[in-house]
Chains A and B, each alone.
Chain A
C-alpha cells in the first residue's frame, strides 16, 4: 500500500537535552505536560530531574484564537440546523436547502475574515498584525475551497449554469483587479490612464461584458476616428451568448448560437477590422478563445484557475462537470508552464475539479491547522449523500471521525466545550462515549459550572456521570467543611453511604456546639430523608428540636421516644436523646405517660447494661452523674404521672 510518509511535525522543547536525559509526560484533556527525567536508573537518590520546568504542549491551538470564536459559535448554529433539517424534502428543494446551508457557512467564514481583517488593520503590533493577516489568508483560502466544493458537489451545477457559477467564483475571489479598475475609473480621464487597457482586459477575462463595454464606450467617445471599430467590438461583446440559468434554452440551442457568434468574431478578425489597434485585436482573439492570446494576459489572471474559467468561457461554455478534470489539468500545466510546482491549495482545488471528494478532505486536513473546515465540509457533503455513493465502506465513519476530532478540540477550551456537546450528540457511533469521557474531565471549579455540566448529563440520561459529578462536588464541599452543600450534593447523587457520613458530621457538630447549621436544608429534606437511616434520624431529630422550640411538648416527647424504640437513632446517640428528655421530664405539667416513662427507663437500662463494668469505671463522673440525674428525673416523672393518671381515672 502506498503511504504518504511525510515526516511528522517536530516540536522543540527548549532546554531539554535529548542526549543526556529523556522526557517524561502526562496527558491532559487536550494537552501534554512534558518535563525532563532519567528513566531506567535503578537505585536510590541518583539523578533527579535537572530542572523543575514543566512544558505544556497543546494541539488545536486555533481553538484558542479569540477572533475565531465567532466562527465556532455561529457555525455551530448552522450545523445544528442542518442536523435537524428534515430530509423529507425531495429533489430540488432539498438541494436548494443544502446550498443555502453551504452559503450560510461561507457567510460565517467571510464575516470572520472581515473581523480579522479589521483587527489586522487596527493593530499596531507588527507581530499581531502578521498573525491576523495569516488568519485572513487561511480563512480566505478556506472560503475559496468551500465555494468550489459548493458549486461542484453540493449544488452539482449542470453544464451551462456550471460555467456561470465558476465565473462568480472567480469574480468573488480574484479581487485585486478591482482596486486597479477603481484606480482607472477614478482618474480624471480614464481612457488616458496607463492601466486602461488592463482594466478592459480584466473585465473581458472575467466575462464582465457590460463593464468592459462601459469602459470601451469612454474610449470610443475620445477617439471619434475609430468609432466604427469600437461599435463592432461592442456589438460582438453584447451579442455573446451566455448559458441561461433557467430552462429557457436547451444546450443545443446555446451551442448553435455560440457557434454562430464565434464565426462572426472569426470573420472580423480575418477581415483585419481590428488590425489598427493591437489592444482590440487581442480582445477579439480572447473572445475567440485563443489560448496564446489569453495566456499573454497571465499577469492579469494571477492564478491558473482563473485561466481555466476564462478558457472555458471562450472555448467551451457548455462544459460538462465530468469534462472539467481534463481542462483543469491542462490549464494548470499551461499556466504554471513547468516553472513552479503546484502547492497544496492548487492540489486541493485540482482534486475538487477531479471530483475526488475524499482527496479534497484529506489534503485539507493535512494543510489546515484546524479541524473546523474538514469537519463541517464533510458533514455537509455527507448530508448531500455524496460520501456513501463514493465509498460505501467508510463514508459515514469519516464524517464522525472528523466531527469527533473537532469536538474534542472544542472540549479543551474553557468555554467552547459547550458547543462540543452538540457535535458529540450527532455522532451516532462514538459520540456518547466521547462525551462521557470528556465531560468527566471538565473542571468543576464553581458550583454554577457543576450545575451546568450536571444539566447536560441529566438531559442525556448519563446516570453514572451525574452520580460522579455530585459525588465529586460533595467531596469537595465536605473537604471545605461546607456540610450543607455536601449533604445536598450527596442527596442528588443518591449516595447513601456518603449521606450517612455527612449526617454523622452534622450530629457530631451538634453535640459539640449545641446547634445545627444549614437549618433550611435539614428542615426541607422531605422524602429524600429516606436515602439513609442516619439522614432520616438527622431530619427527625431536627424535627424534635423544632417541636420543642414551638413548645409542642407532647408531640416532641412522642417523637423522641419513637426515635429510640424504632431504632432510628444510632445507639451512640441515645445518651444525648435521653439528656434531651430531661427538660421534658422536669416540666411543670406531666408530658410523658406512664407507659412512655417505662419505655424511657428501659432505654436507659439497655444503654447502661450494654457497657461492661470495666467501661463503667472508665466513664468519667459527668457521664455517671448524667445517668443518675436521668434515673432520678424518670422516677419523679413516674411518680407524678401515676398520681395524675390515677386521679384522672378516679374522676
Chain B
C-alpha cells in the first residue's frame, strides 16, 4: 500500500538546440554518437554518422573586434572520411595519451587518429587501423593512466548473423611492434553488443568492463603477470563475470559509468534507465529506475529553464507522502521480512532512496520538537549536559 518515495529529484531543463542544429546540418545521415574531448584541449566534440564520416568540432569564441564578440559558435575542424561504411562510434582517448580519437565502423575496422598539434584540430593523422572481422558497434578506451597498463581499447560488435564468435574483443598497444593487437576476447558474449564501457580504474589491479547486449553484464579483467603471459608481450587476462542482469527484459542499448565507476546506468528497449550499484562487498544491485509515464507534459514553455514539470513532479511526491500518513512514525515500512535479516546474511548498503515519510497525526508527537527544557540546543556546538534531570 505504502510506496517508498524516491529521493531522486526531477528538474526539467531545456538544452539550447543550436549545437545540435549545426552538426545535423552537416552530416548527411543519422548521427550515432557525440563525444567530448577533455577540456584541456578546449571545447572540442567529435561525432560519427551513418554518412560514413566522423567529424571534429570546436567552439570558437568571437574575435574581440568581431561583431560576435564574446559569442561562441561551433566550427567543423575536420571530417574523417577513411571509412567506407557507417561510422558507429567515436571516442577520445584518455587525456594522458594526447589528443587521440578512435572510431569504429560497420565494416569492422577500428581507426585511431592523432592530432599531432593540439592547437590545430584540422590536422589528424591516421595512426592505426585494426581489423576486427566483425561489424563494430561500439568502442571504449580503458581510462587507466597507470604506467603498468598499456593503452587498451575494447570493441563490441552487433553482428547478428548466427555464429558463436565473441562479440567483445580487447586490443592492446604493444610497445615493441608499435601496433594494437588482440589481447583477449570475451567468449561468453555471443549476442549482438550495443555498447561497452570501461569503468574508471581507481588504482585497482583489475579493470571493470560493462557490456550492453540482450542484458547488462559486468566483467572484471585482471591482467596476469607478464612472465605468465605467452604470446610476445601481450597481456593475458583473467576474466570474471561479476554481474548479469536481465531486468530490462529486452535489448540494452547503452551502458555508462558515473565518474567514480560506482554506479552503472543502462538503458534498454523497455524504455527504462536502470541504475546499478555495488555495495562495499561488491554485490551489485539495481538501485533506481527512471521511466517515462507516457503522458505529455503540459504547459511547458520552449525557452524556460525550469518548467512546469518541476512542479508536477513535486506534487506527485507530495501526494504519495500525504496519502500514507497513517503511519505512527517517520519512516515508511520496509517490505522486507525482518526475520533473520542480519547484516552478515545480506549485506548490501543501498543508497538511501526513499524520502522519509512524514505523518501528521497527532500521536506522532512522541518525537515532537522543540523540547522546551533543553536550553542548550539553542546554539550549535553547545555541549549536552551530562545528566540533566536525574
Contacts and interface: CB of A to CB of B under 8 A. Distances in A.
5 contacts: A9-B354, A34-B273, A54-B15, A137-B330, A391-B343
A58 interface: yes
Nearest to A393: B281
Interface stretch (A190-198, A475-483, A564-572): A475-483
Contacts of A57: 8-10, 290
Contacts of A25: 254, 256, 265, 267, 273, 290
B47 to A, nearest CB: 14
Contact of B30 (A7, A45, A341, A397): A45
Nearest to B250: A22
A18 interface: yes
B356 to A, nearest CB: 5
B309 A23 contact: no
Given A358-B343, A438-B260, A36 B267 contact: no
A359 interface: yes
B356 A113 contact: no
A575 interface: no
Contact of B251 (A40, A340, A370, A402): A40
Given A18-B270, A23-B292, A138-B356, A54 B13 contact: yes
A45 B290 contact: no
For the complex of A and B, the 9 pairs showing the least CB-CB separation, nearest first, are A16-B292, A18-B271, A358-B343, A344-B331, A401-B280, A9-B6, A39-B253, A176-B365, A111-B380
A313 to B, nearest CB: 12
Nearest to B357: A134
A176 B366 contact: yes
Given A9-B8, A437-B259, A501-B119, A39 B358 contact: no
B368 A366 contact: no
A25 B296 CA distance: 19
A400 B292 CA distance: 35
Interface of B is mostly: loop
Contacts of A577: none
Contact of B345 (A2, A40, A54, A344): A2
A119 to B, nearest CB: 12
Nearest to A167: B390
Interface residues of B, number: 138
Contacts of B50: 42-44
A340 B328 contact: yes
B288 A44 contact: no
A201 B47 CA distance: 76
Contact of B316 (A12, A130, A397): A12
A8 interface: yes
Contacts of B289: 8-11
A273 interface: no
Contact of A26 (B256, B321, B381): B256
Contacts of B344: 358, 391
Interface stretch (B177-185, B221-229, B333-341): B333-341
B286 to A, nearest CB: 4
Given A107-B381, A137-B367, A347-B334, A472 B39 contact: yes
Contact of B10 (A13, A41, A43): A13
A130 B331 contact: no
Contacts of A645: none
Contact of A343 (B43, B273, B328): B328
A140 interface: yes
Contacts of B321: 130, 134
B297 interface: yes
Nearest to B355: A369
A217 B351 CA distance: 55
A175 B313 contact: no
B372 A365 contact: no
Contacts of A108: 380-381
A120 to B, nearest CB: 10
Interface string A378-414: 0000000000000100100110111011001000000
B44 to A, nearest CB: 10
B349 interface: yes
Interface residues of A, number: 146
B108 to A, nearest CB: 16
Contacts of B354: 9, 366-367, 369
Between B11, B291, B352, B366, the greatest number of chain A beta carbons within 10 A of the residue's beta carbon is seen for B352
Interface string B355-390: 110101001111111111110111111111001111
A8 B358 contact: no
A430 B379 contact: no
Given A13-B290, A53-B14, A175-B372, A345 B377 contact: no
A408 B346 contact: no
Contacts of B78: none
A140 B369 contact: yes
A88 interface: no
B212 to A, nearest CB: 10
Given A164-B387, A401-B349, A6 B335 contact: yes
Interface string A461-483: 00010001001100110011100
Between B61, B360, B390, the greatest number of chain A beta carbons within 10 A of the residue's beta carbon is seen for B390
A539 to B, nearest CB: 21
Contacts of B124: none
Interface string A38-56: 0111111110000011111
Given A343-B333, A479-B42, A17 B294 contact: yes
A613 B364 CA distance: 98
B28 interface: yes
B331 A13 contact: no
Interface string B101-141: 00000000000000000110000000000000000000000
Given A58-B8, A356-B342, A370-B352, A15 B309 contact: yes
Contact of A27 (B96, B258, B280, B291): B258
Interface in B12-26: 12-15, 17
Interface in A167-198: 167-168, 171-176, 178, 182
B318 interface: yes
B331 A343 contact: yes
B244 interface: no
Interface stretch (A98-106, A584-592, A631-639): A98-106
